[in-house]
Amino acid sequence: MPRPPNANVISGKWLFKNKLNPDGTLERRKARWVVRGFSQRPGLDFHQTFSPVVRPATIRTVLHLTTTRRWPVNQLDVKNAFLHGDLAKRIYYHQPAGFIDSSRPDHVCLLIKSLYGLKQAPRAWFQRLSTHLRGMGFAATCSDSSLFVYSHGAQTAYLLIYVDDIIPTA
């Protein structure tokens, strides 16, 4: 799309990384496009960036419960979590190097989902996850907004959320 007037257009860059096997041999090469969120303007491009994380005291309390009740404890890591967040503000970025449309080199891209590097990416991810969990019947506790509890009769489940890591137990 053509560059909107008075819009802050952020740039980005490619990050390349070699993923290695435990023995040090090359497993695969990874490439990721990240935006330069440091050029975002507070109040215009984003309002809040804080993403709640579970408190250490909450972790200890839930682990104590799991031990006394002999519940299994697991750990999940959400891959590419920050790419799943929905954006509340319009964010424009320059076309990525190597993918510039030669017929429209001055056009910009409009983000629908968050990208790595955005100031609001962690918060957008947490809001999307918490909305989904509430839809499943989980409720965030008043004492810690990163502890979600599901209760149905005698059945109880706890989810501890720490950015893109989840510890479920029931």
What is the domain count for the chain? 1
3-state SS class at 68: helix
In a domain, 4, yes or no: no
* Among 78, 67, 153, 69, residue whose Cα is nearest residue 121: 78
In a domain, 162, yes or no: yes
Average pLDDT, the chain: 90
* pLDDT tens readout for residues 106-141: 999 998 898 888 888 888 899 999 999 999 999 999
3-state SS class at 14: strand
In a domain, 104, yes or no: yes
* Structural tokens at position 144: 């810690």
Strand order in the sheet with 76-77: 76-77, 165-169, 155-162, 147-152, 139-140
* pLDDT tens readout for residues 20-45: 999 999 999 999 999 887 777 676 66
In a domain, 138, yes or no: yes
One-letter identity of residue 16: F
In a domain, 1, yes or no: no
Domain that holds residue 65: 9-169
What is the pTM for the complete model shown?
0.80
In a domain, 3, yes or no: no
Look at 170 and 89; give whichever has higher pLDDT: 170
In a domain, 46, yes or no: yes
